[in-house]
Amino acid sequence: MRHYNAGDRIAQSINYVLLTLLAASCILPFLYVISVSLTPISEYIKKDGLVLIPTHTTLTAYREIMQGGRLLDAYQVTLFRVVVGTVLNLIFTVITALPLSRKSLPGRSGLLLFIVFTMLFNGGIIPSYLLVKNIGLLNSEWSLIIPGLINAFYLMIVKSFFEQLPEAIDEAARMDGAGEISILVRIVLPLSVPIIATIGLFYAVWHWNSYFDALLYINTPENQPVQLFLRQILLAAVAISGDAAEAANAVNPISVQMASVAVTTLPILVVYPFIQKHFTRGVLLGSVKG
């Protein structure tokens, strides 16, 4: 059993204090968001906006953002993007990374150079918009998925992981008469579950948080994802005049903002603690070998 001296106790106490302050700095902002979203406008004005635990609560701000069913439509678009987009991302990333991981692939060096080039340079916003417009994807959920079907950085991570798999296994499978698809499904994928799961999480979080592409390609309200809906709510709340906000029965624009943040952030906050460990693990798995 280890005996702690005075120096160890002091160091341990400092660690506890620092960790407590760090935890508070993470929890207090979200507590403030929830509190303000539930605070009546009269109490908010009385306390000059400094509300951590409201004396009275109201759901007016939540009813405001739920009106018209726009939020539910936005969630449907976002869920479609996250689920379908992540599945397609994984399929195309895997089937592209596997041949690139084989040194026998003709023109492999040129292809890798081209992929790395796209990580450093891109065509810009206007060419991307014109491309999406010319292929008929404007105002479609597919415009949020197809242009980003393969992320070059994630592709290189998966390729690096595949390079660590013994090629002797593939050769033995070919000698037994297995084709390339059979090798991929029966051998490569079962051995690559950790990296595939991690890259899938990366893609899913990217789809959930992204809004700029929707801002460019989506003009119809029924096809807008949650993040773009949140942005419009925030802009609309800011545009409310001060006189209207101070009316007795008015909806506090700040409460509407906070309610929008809470509704759109809560799902990812619930899921993230269970998936956090996979993020760093996947990057380490794919970066052992260059």
pLDDT, residue 44, reads 78
pLDDT tens digits along 116-171: 888 888 878 888 899 999 998 898 889 999 998 999 999 998 898 888 877 777 77
pLDDT tens digits along 49-105: 777 788 888 888 888 777 767 788 888 999 999 999 999 999 999 999 988 888 888
Dihedral angle computed from the Cα positions of residues 197, 200, 206 and 209, in that order, rounded to the nearest 10 degrees: -70
Cα diameter, the chain: 80
pLDDT tens digits along 27-44: 888 888 888 888 887 777
pTM: 0.76
Name the residue among 109, 271, 101 with its Cα closest to residue 192: 101
Residue 28 CB partners (closer than 8 Å, separation 6+): 52
Mean pLDDT over 107-111 rounds to: 89
